[in-house]
Each structure stands twice: as C-alpha cells, then as structure tokens.
C-alpha cells in the first residue's frame, strides 16, 4: 500500500516535470513547418519564390526580399500586383511594419520592401498576387 | 499524520528538489546557454548611424547638446531642463509615475541609456528620430512649455558662437516675435501664424539644429555591463562564473523562466532586452488621466510632424526614411500599444509601465502572470501558471540586470 502511494506520488512528479518542460518548449516553431522558399499558390495560378536580398536576415532591421512570380509553365508574370501581409501565428500579432511591393526587376521578379522582424521565432508572410491570370495567395514560413 | 502520507510527501519533496536542481546553472542545456548568450551586452551591435542628422556622431555638437540638455533657461519659467526629468545620476529618469516640468505629463519619464538604438521615440513612437524627439518636450505645455522663437532668440543671445561654429550663421531674428510657436498660448500661436514663411523656416532650422545637438549628446549614453553580463560572458566562454558573476539558484531559475515558460523574452529580447516595438499588455489605465490609446494616436502625430524623416530638416536622402515609409498606420494591435522598455537597470527604477502603474517588480510579475483584459483594445498576454517561488525567481533575475 505504502509503496503504491509512493509510486503514485513519484508518477505525479514526473508528469509535472514533463509538463513544465513542455511549457518551456511551447513557443518553439512546429517541427514539421514547411520552410520551402518556392511554392505553388493556393489555387495553383502561380509558382512563387521568395528570398531575402541579403542573408542572413537580421532581426530588427529593415530589409528587402525578392519575390519571383511565374505561371506553372515557368513563364514569368510581368504584371503582378502584390500585397504582403503576415505575422506571428504563435503570438497572435501581425507584422511590425507595412511592407510593400516596390519596383519590377524583370523576369517576373519584384522587390518587397520594408520588411522587419522584431522578434525571433516563426513568422508567416502571405503574398496576395493579382494579374491577368487571376488572384491567388501563397503563405511562406520564416523562422528567425 | 500517517506513515504512508509521510512517505509520499518525502517522495514528492525529493521529486520537486530534483526538478528544481534541474533549473540550476549546473543543468543549463547548450540550447539555453546559446539563447542566454544573445542577451549579453557584449553582443550589442555598434550604434547605427543616423544619416538624417549629420552632426549625430560629432563631438562638438554632442558637447553643445549636453549644454542644452542641462540648460534650464530652455523653458517658459526658466526652471525646466531636459535633465529636470531625465536626471543624470538616476539613469536619466525621475522615479515618478508622471514627469513633472512646468506641469505634469501623462506618462512616465523614460531612461536614456541606449535610446538612440530605437527606430521610434517616446512610449508611443510619435517621433521617428532622436533629434525630432528632443524637440517635443521643449514645446509641450506640461514640460518645458516654451516657444520656438523664444528658443531661437535664446540661442542667438547666449550661445551664438557655439551655435555658429557648428551650424553656420544664425538667421536675422530681429523682426521675429519674442515668443511665438505652433503650440504656445493663443496669442503665441497667432504671432507664429503672422510670421512670414521665410521667418518660420529660419526659426524651424535653428530649432531642428538644437534637436540634432541634443541627439548627438544622447547618442553617447550607453548601458553598462551588469552581473548578468558577467555571468553570461563566463558561460559563453566556457568558464565557471566567479565572484558576483556567479548567479544564485533563484537568479538562474528566474533567467530560465525569462527565456522560457514566462515568455518575457518574446518582447524583451536582445542585448537591450527590447524589441523596440509596441504592444498592448493590458496594463491598467493611469489614475486621474484621460484614456491613453498609445500607438494608435501616435501614428497621425508622427506623420504630421514637420521634423519627421520626410520633412525638409532631414540631412541625407530619403533612403533613411524606411521606418516612416513602411510604418503600420492602422489595425487593432495599435490600440493602447506602448513601446517595450529595456529591462537593463529597471530593478532600480520603479515605478513601472508607461504611467508608473505598478510600484514594484513583484506587482509587474503578478500582472504578467494574471494577464488581465486590457482597458481598451486587446492584450497580447496569455495567463501564466507561475508558482510563488518562480515569481520570486523572476524578480531575482531582473535584479541581476541592475547590479
């Protein structure tokens, strides 16, 4: 009887310890996060590649990213209007800045200006793309 | 108490002490050590240049700025200098919930060490450069309460040589009213409007240069290493922390909580312990003050400021204006959002929050654990389950940033 209660006590402690460590790790990005930098948009209208102009991406500094927009057949999209949104899904807040698509660089490449990440962790960047081919969106994950 | 119960308590006690031992410095994982290393002051990047202020890193303007910073005649009643609230031997703050100049402000005076690193200034970021920030209190009716022409006249009367050595010839101010400005009393505002465009521009230039000199001085104010830095530097170098660098078990537990379960480092991040951004953390409304919406109100103010980065008093080109250009101008997260303050030195400068709502770090930790609803807008906090020991440990850790 004594042993059984002692064992139960020990089991409770083990559970508490595991829960405490799990809570500490709670805000780590999901292990299976898709970090691909090239993706097909949600409705399949575009293949979009998103990459920072300079690596590594430094926290708390404004930086430029390049979005390359192609049709699934590989042809560049020359007339895309791109809107950028995003945030930190685990913290429930948006981007600290309001980035904009800047100049068109040719070959379906567009400058995305004014991005800044003020925290380490998992960020989502959502690009909404409109062109003669239609409107579609794609979400990229970035971990800092 | 039965023997059985005693036995199970013993097991529980052993289990708890094992868990707590796991929270001591002996057991810091490599991942935790790497994380902790990022907060060291030795990891702080050099101060970024401010191309909008070509005097920013020159010693002459900084010395002139120091003179202006401590100059009480830069006020309506001759008794208020920047240093009245930014007290030099009190971390450049005043230990009060509200600043006290000619009148009383609605917010807590911010400390100034490392201030120049931030892209936004004041609790709500209503200015986008340190030199533009320095001009705000000079014209605030509760702070210095003076006027733009009165300041320009004072510079011409008392500091002509020093000013001209740095900025070139002063304009002719003989026909400019003794006291006129856009934020003065009714007659002073009318006098300002009655001035010619050229006169106003000439006075504005002198005023902007005053801000640039004060900013050059403030850029020299830096954080000093603390016990935490000595601990973390030793950790990073693979040395055993010695003497005051050896943090206690409680302090290390607090540090682990800070970067882990208590989620403090979500916003209080990097060597300055701030993300330089604005957050609604549900702090209560200040007693006896109007509802303060923080960043939401500041967006229009910084856009309207003639001394902002888009204005004509900026040095350099507009490539330095990214923060203003890409500023978030609307959205629910702006409501009652205030800037994350640095935690360096915080333990020795109560009261806390943007209006001194909390008298002690114990109250601060209780607030973050309880995560109450915001008086307006949505708080970003999530309720934390912290034991009394964990709360004490967090406070103990915060004190290592002020010793």
pLDDT higher than threshold 60 for residue B20: no
Does residue B84 sit in the same domain as residue B139? yes
- What are the C-alpha distances in Å from A61 to residues A11, A108, B42, B202, B300? 48, 26, 19, 34, 23
CA distance A129 to chain B (A): 19
Residue A27 lies in a domain: no
Domain assignment present for residue B68? The answer is yes
Residue B272: inside a domain, yes or no? yes
E strand map for B224-363? 278-279, 338-339
- pLDDT for the residue B1: 46
User: Cα–Cα–Cα angle for B188, B192, B196, nearest 5°?
Assistant: 155
Q: How far apart are CA B153 and CA A63, in angstroms?
A: 43
Query: Does residue B344 share a domain with residue B386?
Result: yes
Domain boundary among B154, B183, B218: B218
Q: What is the pTM of this model?
A: 0.89
Q: Which domain holds residue A54?
A: 38-143
Give the end of a domain, one of B167, B202, B218. Answer: B218
B75 neighbors B140 (Cβ within 8 angstroms): no
Q: What is the mean pLDDT of chain B?
A: 94
Nearest alpha-carbon partner for B344 in B302, B263, B403, B293: B403
Mean of the pLDDT values across residues A34-47? 97
Q: Given A13, A94, A95, which is nearest B16 (Cβ)?
A: A13
Q: Is residue B5 part of a domain?
A: no
Is residue B316 situated within a structural domain? no
Query: Alpha helix (H) ranges present in B94-172?
Result: 130-139, 148-158, 160-167
Residue contact B266–A121, C-beta within 8 A:
yes
The phi, psi pair for A127, rounded to 5°, reads -105, 125
B326 neighbourhood in chain A, CB within 8 Å: 62, 97-100, 113-114, 116
Residue B330 lies in a domain: no
B27-76: per-residue pLDDT in tens?
789 989 999 999 999 999 999 999 999 999 999 999 999 999 999 999 99
Q: Closest-CA residue in chain A for B275?
A: A118
Q: Are residues B169 and B207 in the same domain?
A: yes
The Cα–Cα gap between B207 and B306 comes to 11
Kindly compute the dihedral angle of the four CA atoms of residues B193, B197, B201, B207, in this order, to the nearest 10 degrees: -10
B238 and B273 assigned to the same domain: yes
**CATH number (domain holding residue B356):** 1.10.760.10
Residue B147 has pLDDT above 80, yes or no: yes
Total domain count, chain A: 1
Q: Are B337 and B279 in contact (CB under 8 A)?
A: yes
**What count of CB pairs under 8 Å joins A to B?**
92
- CA-based nearest distance B54→chain A, Å: 21
CB-closest option in B12, B266, B270 to A9:
B12
pLDDT digits (tens, 9 = 90+) for B268-283: 999 999 999 999 999 9
Number of domains chain B contains: 2
CA distance B172 to chain A (A): 41
Give the Cα separation of A101 and A64 in Å (integer). Answer: 10
Nearest CA distance, B338 vs chain A (angstrom):
13
> Which residues numbered 184-203 in B keep a CB inside 8 Å of some CB on A?
none
For the stretch B82-137, pLDDT in tens is: 999 999 999 999 999 999 999 999 999 999 999 999 999 999 999 999 999 999 99
Question: Which residues 15-44 in chain B show a CB within 8 A of chain A?
Answer: 15-16, 18-19, 22
Residue B275 is nearest to which of A9, A98, A118, comparing CB atoms? A118
Q: Which residue of B has its CA nearest to A88?
A: B266
Q: What percent of chain A has pLDDT over 70?
A: 81
Residues B271 and B150 in one domain: no
B104 shares contact with chain A (CB less than 8 Å): no
Rounded Cα distance, A137 and A84, in Å: 10
pLDDT at B292 over 90: yes
Whether residue B285 is found in the same domain as residue B241? yes
Query: Would you state the structure tokens that stand for residue A61, as one six-digit string?
Result: 């500094």
Chain A residues in contact with chain B using a Cβ-Cβ cutoff of 8 Å: 1-2, 5-6, 8-10, 12-14, 16-17, 20, 23-24, 26-27, 59-60, 62, 91-100, 113-114, 116, 118-121
ipTM: 0.81
Instruction: Answer yes or no: is B162 within a domain.
Output: yes
Show which of B203, B218, B233 is a domain's final residue.
Answer: B218
Contact A111, A101 (CB under 8 A): yes
What does DSSP assign to residue A58?
P
Q: Answer whether residue A24 is part of any domain.
A: no
Q: First vs last Cα of chain A: how many Å apart?
A: 52
In a domain, A101, yes or no: yes
The mean pLDDT value for A78-106 works out to 92
Between CA B312 and CA B350 the distance in angstroms is 39
What are the tens digits of pLDDT across the range B383-392? 999 999 999 9
State the average pLDDT over residues A72-85.
97
Q: How far apart are alpha carbons B384 and B354 in whole angstroms? A: 22
- Run of H or E residues at A142: strand A134-143
- Give residue for tokens 């002692």: A6
Residue B212 lies in a domain: yes
As a whole number of Å, the CA-based R_g of chain B is 24
Whole-angstrom Cα distance, residue B264 to residue B118? Answer: 19
pLDDT bucket at B328, cuts 50 / 70 / 90: very high
> B344 near B272, Cβ under 8 Å?
yes
Which residues in chain A have Cβ-Cβ distances shorter than 8 Å to B279? 93
Q: Can you say how many angstroms the Cα of residue B186 is from the centroid of all Cα atoms in its chain?
A: 32
**Claim to verify: residue B213 and residue B228 sit in the same structural domain:** no
Proportion of chain B above pLDDT 70, given as a percent: 94
Helix B186-194 vs helix B148-158: angle between axes, to the nearest 10 degrees? 70
Average the pLDDT over B318-329 and give the result: 97
Residue B237 and residue B177 share a domain: no
A76 found inside a domain:
yes
B334 touches chain A (CB under 8 A): no
Clarify whether residues B73 and B146 are in a common domain: yes
Q: List the domain range (segments joined by +) for residue B228.
A: 22-44+224-294+335-399
Is residue A33 one of the residues assigned to a domain? Answer: no
Of B130, B185, B133, B174, nearest to B152 (Cα)?
A: B174
Q: Do B207 and B236 share a structural domain?
A: no
Pairwise CB contact (< 8 Å): A118 & B277: yes
Question: What ranges in B219-294 are assigned the alpha helix state H?
Answer: 227-236, 249-259
**Residue B246 and residue B133 in one domain:** no
Distances (CA, A) of B391 to B196, B251, B255, B364: 61, 11, 11, 10
Structural element, H or E, at residue B195 = none
**CATH code, domain carrying A70:** 2.60.40.1080
Write out the two tokens for A144. 């800092």
Question: Looking at beta carbons, which pairs linking B174-180 to residues 24 or more positions away fall under 8 Å?
Answer: B175/B199, B176/B149, B176/B152, B176/B202, B176/B203, B177/B149, B178/B149, B178/B150, B178/B153, B179/B146, B179/B147, B179/B149, B179/B150, B180/B147, B180/B148, B180/B149, B180/B150
| In a shared domain, residues B136 and B76 | yes
Q: Per-residue pLDDT for A59 more than 90?
A: no
What average pLDDT does this structure show over A76-87? 96
pLDDT at B204 over 60: yes
């Amino acid at each position: 009887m004594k042993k059984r209660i002692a064992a139960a006590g020990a089991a409770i402690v083990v559970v508490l310890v595991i829960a405490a460590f799990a809570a500490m790790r709670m805000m780590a990005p999901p292990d299976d996060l898709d970090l691909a930098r090239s993706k097909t948009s949600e409705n399949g209208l575009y293949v979009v590649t998103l990459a920072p102009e300079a690596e590594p991406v430094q926290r708390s500094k404004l930086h430029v990213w390049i979005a390359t927009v192609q049709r699934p057949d590989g042809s560049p999209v020359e007339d895309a209007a791109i809107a950028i949104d995003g945030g930190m899904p685990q913290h429930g807040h948006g981007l600290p800045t309001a980035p904009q698509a800047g100049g068109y660089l040719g070959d379906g490449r567009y400058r995305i200006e004014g991005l800044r990440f003020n925290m380490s962790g998992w960020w989502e960047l959502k690009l909404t793309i409109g062109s003669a081919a239609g409107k579609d969106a794609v979400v990229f994950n970035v971990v800092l | 108490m039965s023997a059985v119960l005693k036995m199970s308590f013993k097991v529980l006690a052993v289990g708890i002490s094992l868990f707590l031992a796991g929270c001591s410095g002996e057991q810091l994982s490599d991942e935790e050590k790497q994380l902790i290393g990022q907060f060291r002051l030795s990891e702080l990047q050099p101060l970024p240049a401010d191309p909008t202020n070509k005097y920013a890193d020159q010693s002459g303007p900084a010395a002139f700025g120091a003179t202006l910073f401590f100059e009480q005649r830069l006020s309506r009643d001759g008794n208020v200098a920047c240093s009245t609230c930014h007290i030099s031997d009190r971390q450049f703050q005043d230990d009060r919930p509200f600043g006290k100049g000619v009148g009383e402000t609605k917010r807590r005076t911010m400390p100034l060490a490392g201030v120049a690193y931030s892209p936004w200034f004041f609790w709500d970021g209503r200015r986008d450069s340190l030199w533009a920030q320095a001009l705000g209190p000079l014209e605030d009716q509760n702070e210095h309460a003076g006027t733009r022409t009165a300041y320009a006249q004072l510079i011409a009367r008392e500091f002509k040589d020093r000013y001209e050595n740095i900025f070139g010839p002063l304009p002719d101010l003989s026909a400019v009213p003794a006291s006129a400005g856009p934020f003065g009393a009714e007659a002073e505002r009318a006098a300002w409007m009655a001035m010619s465009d050229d006169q106003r521009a000439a006075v504005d230039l002198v005023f902007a240069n005053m801000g640039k000199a004060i900013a050059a001085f403030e850029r020299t104010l830096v954080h000093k290493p603390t016990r935490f830095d000595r601990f973390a530097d030793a950790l990073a170098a693979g040395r055993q922390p010695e003497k005051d660098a050896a943090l206690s078990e409680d302090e290390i537990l607090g540090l682990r909580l800070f970067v882990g379960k208590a989620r403090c480092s979500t916003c209080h991040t990097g060597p300055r312990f701030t993300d330089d951004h604005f957050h609604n953390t549900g702090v209560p409304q200040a007693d006896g003050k109007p509802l303060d919406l923080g960043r939401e109100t500041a967006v229009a103010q910084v856009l309207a400021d003639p001394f902002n980065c888009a204005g004509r008093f900026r040095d350099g080109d507009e490539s330095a204006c990214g923060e203003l250009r890409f500023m978030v101008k609307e959205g629910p997260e702006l409501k009652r959002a205030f800037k994350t303050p640095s935690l360096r030195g915080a333990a020795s400068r109560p009261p806390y929050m943007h209006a001194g709502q909390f008298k002690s770090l114990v109250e601060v930790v209780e607030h973050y654990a309880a995560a109450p609803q915001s008086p307006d807008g949505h708080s970003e906090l999530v309720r934390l389950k912290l034991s009394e020991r964990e709360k004490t440990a967090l406070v103990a850790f915060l004190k290592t940033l002020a010793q």
